[in-house]
Amino acid sequence: MHSVTLVLLRLPVDDLHAAATALLRPHRLNEDAPDASWHLDYWTTGGDNIADPETAAALGVADDEDLAPNVCFVSRLAGRVIPGALVTPDGAWHDLQDFGWRLAPVETPANKAAWERWAARVEELLAAHAGCVAVEFDTHS
């Protein structure tokens, strides 16, 4: 399953991509330890859901084709996207599935309720990290 995943970074940071992938890496499938807990098997830079040219310019990545459309100051994210997962600066993984959402061929009442709980939690996490920058990834699990 593909999911929009936001990685939140405290500023300043020298290399946004390296810092964000460092927070994703511990959540990746380790084929040498297949019984270990994991959340994704690979990722790519995001799908432009949070594009904010002002953030890209302020961070000096406006000319970076991968990062420019995939960064946004958290304080400017309101209404842009509710991700399927979010990684906070402490490296903690927060996921829609933690709220009871399950892949189903049709929308279910349980999934709708899970989505609403998740959306509220995302708002809380973003408010708690308003001074951070979000980097968007497309993750696959």
Q: What is the CA radius of gyration of the chain?
A: 15
Could you give the CA distance from residue 39 to residue 24 in angstroms, rounded to a whole number?
Answer: 9
pLDDT of 35 > 80? The answer is no
Quote the pLDDT of residue 42: 79
Residue 7 DSSP SS3: strand
Query: Using an 8 Å Cβ cutoff, are 51 and 70 in contact?
Result: yes
Could you give the CA distance from residue 82 to residue 124 in angstroms, rounded to a whole number?
Answer: 12
Q: To the nearest whole number, what is the mean pLDDT of the chain?
A: 91
Quote the pLDDT of residue 81: 92
pLDDT of 33 > 80? The answer is no
Range 49-68 average pLDDT: 97
Range 23-38 average pLDDT: 78
pLDDT digits (tens, 9 = 90+) for 103-122: 777 788 989 999 999 999 99
In this prediction, residue 69 has a pLDDT band, given cuts at 50, 70 and 90, of very high
Instruction: Please state whether the predicted TM-score (pTM) of the whole model is above 0.85.
Output: yes
Q: Which amino acid is it at 135? A: V
pLDDT digits (tens, 9 = 90+) for 38-58: 787 879 998 899 999 999 999
The residue behind tokens 């279910």 is 108
